[in-house]
Every structure is written in C-alpha cells, then in structure tokens.
Amino acid sequence: MSESSYDAIVVGAGPAGISAAIVMARAGLKVALLERGEYPGAKNVQGAVLYSRMLHEILPDFWTMPGAALERPVVEQKTCVTTEDSWITFGYKSLKFLQGIPNCYTIIRVKFDQWYAAQAEAAGAELFCGVTVREVIRKDGRIAGIKTSDGDELESSVVLACDGANSLLAQKAGLIDELKPVEVALGAKEVIALDSKVIEDRFQLNPGEGSAMDIFGSVTLGMLGYAFLYTNKDSLSLGVGCRLSDYQAKGLRPSDHLELVKRHPYVAKLISGGKTLEYSSHLIPEGGFKSMPPLFSDGFLVAGDAAQMTNPPYREGANMAMTAGRLAGETVIEAKKKGDFSAAALSVYQLKLKASYVLSDMEDIKDLEEAVASVPGFLEAYPKLACDLAHLRFSADGVPKRQHLRQAFRLVADRGFWRIAKDLWPLRKVAI
Ligand SMILES: Cc1cc2nc3c(=O)[nH]c(=O)nc-3n(C[C@H](O)[C@H](O)[C@H](O)COP(=O)(O)OP(=O)(O)OC[C@H]3O[C@@H](n4cnc5c(N)ncnc54)[C@H](O)[C@@H]3O)c2cc1C
C-alpha cells in the first residue's frame, strides 16, 4: 500500500464503494479503495437484478462498454404466488424495457464487481485487495484514517464506509450497533448451469433476453421473505431470503430451505436438468429507514448496505448503493474544494439522498415489514385464498357457477372483509 495519505479512503469494493471511488477519482482526488476479498466480488452475493439508470448516471451507456459484465437485459418481470400444489403467476413483458436506457440486467456479482472495480482503477483510484479494515483512526476529534487487520495505518481527509451489511466501520465510528436478527434477512442462492437455448425455450425469451421472477407464499414456509429465479446467459440464479429471526425461530438453515424451494413443483420444472455450479449466502440489511445509522460524522460517510439502504419488496439494493456512493463521492469533492471535511460540511450528503429516490422510497416502506409480520400467517393465508379463488374460477366441475360464486364469497367472508382490507392496506405502498 502507498505510504502517502489520501483524500478519501473507501472501505469495500462493492456497488457503493466502487461508485464513490469512480466519481472521486475522476474529479482528480487521490482515492484508495480497500477490499477484504482476494478480488472484488469474491465475497459478494446478489440475486442479481441490476437496475440500469443508477449505473448509467456513473458510467453513461455502460451496456455498450467493451467487456461490460452483464448477463441478460430483462424484458419480463413476473410474480408467482404459491401454495404447496398450486400457483398463480402474473407478469409484465415489454420490449420497451430494451429501449433507451434498458430497465435492468441480470448480473453475476463475482464477474460484475471485478469489471466495475476495473473502471474505478481506470478512473485513477488505487485498488487494494486482500485488505481487511479493522479500526478507524481518530485525530483531533475526527476520523482521519483506518487501520487494517495487519496493523497497517492509512490516513485520509475522509473515510467512506461502504463495507456492506453489519458495517464494522460504522460500528467502530460509533454510529451503529451490530444488527439485530429482526433487522436483517439471510439470503441463500445457487447458480444453476443450463443451456442458453433451454433457458430461452423454457422462459419464452428471444435469444439474449432475460426474465426475473419473485416467488411468494408457501415457498417461504410462513417466514417473512421471498424466493427468486433470474435468467443469466447460460445459468439460472435461484435463491431465497427470509428474516434471520424467522430462521432462528424455525431452526432452519437457509441452505436446507433452498433445497425445499427447489422441490416446489413450479420451480422444479423450471430448473430441471440444471447443474448447480455454486452456492452462496449473505446478509441483507432490512431494518429499513428506522434502523439507519447517522449517515455522516466528522471525516466519515456511510453508504449502501452499511447504511441499510435496501428496498426489499422492489428487490433494490445495489442500485441504491450506487446512487448513495455517487452522492457520497460528490459530497467529498465539494468538501475538498472547501477544505472542510467536518460533519457540517458532509451533512450535504444527507440532503442529496433526501432529494433522491433513496430516502423517500425507504421512508415510504418504513412500516411495511412490521405490518406484514404483525398478521400471523400473512404470507401463507393470502396466497392460499388467492389460489382457492382461482381454483373455483377455472374449474368446470358440473357445479353451477352461481354456487361457485357463493363458495368464493364464503371463502372471503370466512377471513372477514374488514380484516382482509385492513391486512392488505399496507401493501398499497408497493402497488406501484
Ligand atoms: C441473496 C441476495 C439477493 C439480492 N438481490 C438483489 C437484487 O436482485 N437487486 C439488488 O439491487 N440488490 C439485491 N441484493 C442486495 C444487494 O446485494 C446489496 O444491496 C448491495 O450489494 C449493496 O452494495 P454495497 O456496496 O453497499 O455492499 P456489498 O455489495 O456487500 O459490498 C461491500 C464490500 O465491502 C467489503 N468489506 C466488508 N467489510 C470489509 C472490511 N472490514 N474491510 C475491507 N472490505 C470490506 C466486502 O467484501 C464487499 O466487497 C441482494 C442481496 C442478497 C444477499
């Protein structure tokens, strides 16, 4: 590692850290990007759908860049609601998703992060891998650098904590405590090799196009969360993420849970013939708006998962991390111009985030998880009700339709009209 001090030290070469490093290095700042993995992406897990606009704001038209580590542009988004033996799927497919700035791509993080970090190096940032940061250095009441697990010290005007879920840096800076099991989900994922032609036939895609599906209901065994199935070039990403406290209460390991998801008849058919290439699991911070740490202090900024910036019902996280990293980088550039890295100067970061979709979206869904979790069996009862109603609608069993209608009415009345309205009301926040 270089001996000289830096304008900015970025801890963590994930979407947040790399974005911040690109923006600052491009403006001529001396930036160190520190990553504990052997290489960027070595330890990172994501579904992974990556929304394009936020990356386009950092690397314009990135999808045309040589070597861009993208799998498939997603033309179809689907939701599947399951019981053990039935399922309802609904989705939206549009070629408009391919026009202009494509809406999103599937990616494989181990490839993507290496490519993205290379863009930070090309912009002038110094990337150091295999470096685990253990401590922050304080000087004159402000954070002025970091200490690695090898005891190396590095100084800077500002440190950016982009070290992901359960951020050690934000804890060392005294901004946050370790996450509680109700504030975090555990995601487990497999990449399953499948011939690209088989994928396109099975998912009804034109060559090169992709689809992304989230699966709710019985597959999560009553736990708060959902499963997902995304198409890559010649593999599928199948995963499931549920609240850690729910796994603890059930005594279930995510890897065992994923095996159960694979056996659901809808999923089993889609992945059949595939060969598992890798398994990974990772925390997803889901405490949301109410569990966010302070986002800045003297000489210190927090971005991405380190600051709990995710929007689970929309499967957004990496895009929010990129936006936050960019805004943190822009804040540091302004601070450098003023020669002021105090908390007051860095507080602009919070204003920038407030003006963006990041904080407003998080604020809008701040009560959603609690609302869903407070209704026992929510994620089992409503998928079952929906499937039972669909069963009546699509059955020609010799029973007069008016009797089906009465049965349907009874199914709904048994749960209670008022109760259904009250239970489902919080979902209005994620209806659009
Ligand atoms: C199963 C799963 C599915 C997901 N699906 C999606 C999806 O489809 N779409 C989406 O947008 N989001 C998704 N997410 C969320 C998304 O992965 C995160 O929101 C995103 O990765 C956050 O980026 P980040 O840069 O803040 O953190 P990370 O990507 O976690 O990067 C943090 C980096 O810091 C490094 N690091 C950590 N500690 C240290 C240290 N002490 N010293 C040095 N380096 C350190 C890590 O190795 C890592 O490289 C998913 C997450 C999971 C687990």
CATH number of domain containing 293:
3.50.50.60
Pocket test for ligand 1, best of 22, 163, 169, 310 (most atoms within 8 A of CB): 163
Pocket test for ligand 1, best of 1, 305, 327, 358 (most atoms within 8 A of CB): 305
Radius of gyration of the chain, Cα coordinates, nearest whole angstrom: 23
Q: With 0-12 CB in 10 A as exposed, 13-18 as middle and 19+ as buried, what is 431? A: exposed
- Quote the Cα angle for 132-135-138, to 5°: 140
- 331 close to 301: Cβ distance less than 8 angstroms: yes
- 269 found inside a domain: yes
Alpha-carbon span 364 to 316, nearest angstrom: 14
- 94 found inside a domain: no
Q: Which residues form the domain of 404?
A: 373-430
> Tokens at residue 324, please?
């936050």
Distance 55 CA to ligand 1 centre (A): 15
Alpha-carbon span 355 to 347, nearest angstrom: 13
pLDDT attached to residue 4? 53
Alpha-carbon span 358 to 237, nearest angstrom: 26
For residue 241, the ligand 1 atom closest to its alpha carbon is: 1
Q: Indicate whether 145 and 255 sit together in one domain.
A: no
- 132 found inside a domain: yes
Q: Indicate whether 48 and 122 sit together in one domain.
A: yes
- Whose C-alpha lies nearest to ligand 1, atom 21? 318
- 292 found inside a domain: yes
Point out the domain boundary residue: 326, 355, 384: 355
Q: Indicate whether 139 and 18 sit together in one domain.
A: yes
Sole residue written with tokens 């507080």: 347
Q: Indicate whether 141 and 16 sit together in one domain.
A: yes
Beta bridge partners of 281: 188
Alpha-carbon span 309 to 322, nearest angstrom: 10
Q: Indicate whether 168 and 56 sit together in one domain.
A: yes
- 86 found inside a domain: no
- Whose C-alpha lies nearest to ligand 1, atom 15? 317
Which residues approach ligand 1 with their CB closer than 6 A?
11-17, 34-37, 43-49, 132-133, 162-164, 168, 187, 189, 239, 241, 282, 284, 304-306, 310, 315-319, 321
Counting the structural domains of the chain, the total is 3
Pocket test for ligand 1, best of 44, 110, 115 (most atoms within 8 A of CB): 44
pLDDT range class, residue 300, cuts 50, 70, 90 = very high
> Tokens at residue 255, please?
């890897």
pTM, to two decimals: 0.96
Pocket test for ligand 1, best of 10, 18, 36, 190 (most atoms within 8 A of CB): 36
- 243 found inside a domain: yes
Pairing between β-strand 210-217 and β-strand 74-82 as defined by DSSP bridges: parallel
Q: Indicate whether 266 and 231 sit together in one domain.
A: yes
For residue 324, the ligand 1 atom closest to its alpha carbon is: 26
pLDDT attached to residue 432? 80
Q: Indicate whether 241 and 190 sit together in one domain.
A: yes
- Whose C-alpha lies nearest to ligand 1, atom 41? 133
Mean pLDDT of 80-98: 96
The per-residue pLDDT for range 127-169, each reduced to its tens digit, is 999 999 999 999 999 999 999 999 999 999 999 999 999 999 9
pLDDT range class, residue 369, cuts 50, 70, 90 = confident
Mean pLDDT of 44-69: 96
Compare 44 and 30 and report the one with higher pLDDT: 30
Distance 44 CA to ligand 1 centre (A): 6
Q: Indicate whether 272 and 380 sit together in one domain.
A: no
> Tokens at residue 200, please?
């396109």
pLDDT attached to residue 1? 54
Q: Indicate whether 174 and 232 sit together in one domain.
A: no
- 217 found inside a domain: yes
Give Cα separations from 383 to 69, 260, 378, 388 (angstroms).
36, 18, 8, 9
For residue 16, the ligand 1 atom closest to its alpha carbon is: 25
Alpha-carbon span 110 to 279, nearest angstrom: 13
Point out the domain boundary residue: 285, 318, 341: 285
Alpha-carbon span 241 to 184, nearest angstrom: 10
pLDDT attached to residue 43? 84
Q: Indicate whether 13 and 149 sit together in one domain.
A: yes
- Asked whether the predicted pLDDT for residue 181 surpasses 80, the reply is yes
The per-residue pLDDT for range 380-422, each reduced to its tens digit, is 999 999 999 999 999 999 999 999 999 999 999 999 999 999 9
Point out the domain boundary residue: 329, 355, 381: 355
pLDDT range class, residue 174, cuts 50, 70, 90 = very high
Amino acid identity for residue 338 in this structure = K
- 99 found inside a domain: no
Distance 296 CA to ligand 1 centre (A): 20
> Tokens at residue 98, please?
């391919």
Distance 317 CA to ligand 1 centre (A): 8
CATH number of 280's domain: 3.30.9.90
Q: Indicate whether 281 and 297 sit together in one domain.
A: no
Other beta carbons within 10 angstroms of residue 85's beta carbon come to: 10
Other beta carbons within 10 angstroms of residue 119's beta carbon come to: 22
For residue 113, the ligand 1 atom closest to its alpha carbon is: 49
The per-residue pLDDT for range 204-231, each reduced to its tens digit, is 999 999 999 999 999 999 999 999 999 9
**DSSP assignment string, 262-279:** HHSHHHHHHHTT-EEEEE
Q: Indicate whether 395 and 339 sit together in one domain.
A: no
Mean pLDDT of 353-378: 92
Distance 165 CA to ligand 1 centre (A): 7
- Whose C-alpha lies nearest to ligand 1, atom 1? 187
The per-residue pLDDT for range 266-286, each reduced to its tens digit, is 999 999 999 999 999 999 998
Distance 113 CA to ligand 1 centre (A): 10
- 123 close to 134: Cβ distance less than 8 angstroms: no
Distance 305 CA to ligand 1 centre (A): 6
pLDDT range class, residue 85, cuts 50, 70, 90 = very high
- 256 close to 291: Cβ distance less than 8 angstroms: no
The DSSP output letter for 47 is -
